[in-house]
């Protein structure tokens, strides 16, 4: 059959017959991305079908403003997105979270779907997979989880699809609010110790030096676990009565550095990334992080508002002073460490917290409840909301330089009253 030719307006597309197999190829020029010329191409056996395909591409381009040029599966795109797009942007622990949600939920639920074929129905299927897996899915390893987990997976998928749109791989983000509602966060009752219970715990560990300093900081400074374990000697200024929260201790996850993973596994032949001879830690450019010992790293706080100063007053000041006089700093200048100077593993720290509660005869609450205790007691003492936000280092804190300074007398007053409340109960007990 002779090749058909027809004159078309510039930018309206073209049709030509491919000599290698006789297929009719319709193509249309798309908006450039980063100066790169792009075209959408489809092939059909019949000329009439190619004409129809070209007309459809024109209509879609007029309506959407752009068209996807290639379509990997969602699983393939998620891996590319994590390695190339997300890794340079986010902190290592956040990237580890993204990978975990991708591997456990997004890929098993809808990973085989082509990126350009995703619909809001697929996103709803992801929600269902997490909150209400079928019997077969449970046998395959799925577990029924809360809507909070579904919300996190949804948010990660939405971010990945936003970047896919920027690269022209999809024209619509089917996970955004215009197409589907995100799952609602599950309502959870946060446990916290009362002032009497906090005093009971501190009274119980008063004679155990290491635990006295650990749990006094946890209850009277409101630090996150990683922030507490990452306190360095230079961060404690007893004379000024200031504890600077500027580092956090975290266990980070290694990545393979030997190349791309294939069907047969990683090029190095090893499964664990930590055993890869070219292993790497995905620390984004411009982010400070240092390995201290055995996979434990100190990194900057999770947000600018997390980098703050907390008043050292009353009982907390006494305990910290005794500790610094008796125990020299360990690795990287950490004031809280094992007897050999190495950092405390967060898992061991959590186990010690639960053991301390058991010895004191108190309810077994999560370690993060110590932070909730601080916030709750400050609220009960009538500390202003902005003062509580600054002390706790929440992301809603608004300061011009990203730091919170204890020059604010309201902060020192609130912490003084908190210490007096707990210390008074401890003495009375």
Q: Which residues does the chain have with pLDDT short of 70?
A: 1-11, 33-35, 68-70, 187-190, 302-306, 381-392, 394-415, 418-419, 423-429
Contact 172, 178 (CB under 8 A): no
Token output for 109: 């639920």
Q: Indicate if 152 and 218 belong to the same structural domain.
A: no
Does 45 fall in a domain?
A: yes
* 390, 411 contact by CB (below 8 A): yes
Residues 219 and 201: beta-carbon distance below 8 Å = yes
Decide if 131 is inside a domain. Answer: yes
**Cβ contact 270:308 at 8 Å:** no
CATH number at residue 424: 1.10.443.10
**In this structure, is residue 267 part of a structural domain?**
no
- In this structure, are 135 and 221 located in the same domain? no
- Distance from C-alpha of 198 to C-alpha of 348, rounded to nearest angstrom: 21
232 & 314 share domain: yes
pLDDT in tens, 272-323: 888 899 988 878 777 788 889 988 999 887 666 567 888 888 888 888 999 9
**Does 230 lie in the same domain as 85?**
no
Whether 190 is in a domain gets the answer no
Residues 211 and 342 in one domain: yes
Beta bridge partners, 291, equal 297
**Which residues constitute the domain of residue 424?**
195-248+303-428
Question: Considering the domain boundaries, does residue 27 fall inside one?
Answer: yes
In the chain, the number of structural domains is 3
- Burial class of 260 by CB neighbour count within 10 A (0 to 12, 13 to 18, 19+): exposed
Of the CA atoms within 13 Å of residue 282, those in its CB half-sphere come to 24
pLDDT of residue 47: 92
In a domain, 136, yes or no: yes
Q: What pLDDT is recorded for position 368?
A: 87
pLDDT confidence of residue 19: 86
Q: What is the pLDDT of residues 387-396, one digit of tens each?
A: 666 666 755 4
pLDDT value of residue 123 = 95
For residues 82 and 115, membership in a common domain is answered with yes
Euclidean distance between CA atoms 366 and 2, whole angstroms: 76
pLDDT computed for residue 122 by the predictor: 96
pLDDT of residue 103: 93
């Amino acid at each position: 059959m002779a090749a058909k030719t027809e004159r078309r307006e510039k930018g309206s597309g073209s049709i030509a017959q491919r000599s290698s197999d006789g297929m009719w190829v319709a193509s249309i020029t798309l908006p450039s991305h980063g100066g790169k010329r792009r075209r959408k191409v489809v092939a059909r056996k019949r000329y009439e079908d190619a004409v129809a395909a070209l007309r459809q591409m024109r209509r879609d381009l007029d309506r959407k403003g752009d068209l996807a040029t290639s379509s990997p599966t969602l699983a393939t795109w998620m891996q590319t997105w994590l390695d190339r797009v997300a890794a340079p942007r986010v902190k290592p622990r956040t990237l580890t979270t993204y990978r975990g949600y991708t591997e456990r939920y997004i890929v098993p639920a809808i990973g085989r779907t082509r990126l350009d074929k995703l619909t809001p129905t697929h996103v709803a299927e992801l929600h269902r997979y997490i909150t209400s897996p079928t019997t077969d899915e449970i046998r395959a390893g799925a577990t029924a989880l809360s809507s909070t987990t579904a919300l996190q997976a949804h948010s990660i998928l939405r971010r990945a699809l936003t970047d896919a749109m920027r690269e022209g791989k999809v024209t619509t983000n089917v996970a955004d609010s215009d197409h589907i509602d995100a799952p609602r966060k599950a309502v959870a009752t946060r446990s916290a110790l009362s002032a009497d219970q906090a005093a009971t715990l501190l009274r119980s560990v008063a004679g155990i030096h290491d635990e006295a300093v650990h749990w006094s900081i946890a209850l009277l400074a409101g630090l996150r676990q990683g922030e507490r374990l990452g306190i360095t000697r230079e961060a404690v200024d007893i004379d000024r009565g200031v504890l600077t929260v500027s580092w956090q201790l975290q266990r980070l996850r290694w990545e393979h550095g030997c190349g791309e993973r294939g069907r047969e596994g990683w090029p190095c032949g090893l499964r664990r990334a930590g055993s890869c001879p070219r292993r790497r830690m995905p620390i984004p450019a411009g982010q400070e992080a240092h390995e201290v010992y055995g996979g434990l790293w100190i990194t900057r706080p999770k947000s600018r508002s997390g980098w703050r100063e907390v008043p050292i007053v009353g009982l907390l000041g006494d305990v910290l002073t005794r500790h610094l006089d008796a125990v020299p700093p360990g690795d990287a200048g950490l004031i809280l460490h094992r007897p050999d100077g190495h950092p405390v593993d967060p898992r061991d720290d959590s186990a010690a917290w639960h053991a301390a509660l058991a010895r004191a005869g108190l309810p077994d609450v999560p370690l993060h409840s110590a932070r909730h205790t601080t916030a709750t007691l400050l609220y009960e003492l009538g500390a202003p909301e902005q003062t509580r936000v600054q002390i706790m280092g929440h992301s809603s804190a608004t300061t011009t330089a990203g730091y919170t300074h204890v020059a604010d007398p309201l902060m020192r007053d609130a912490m003084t009253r908190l210490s007096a409340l707990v210390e008074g109960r401890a003495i009375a007990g």
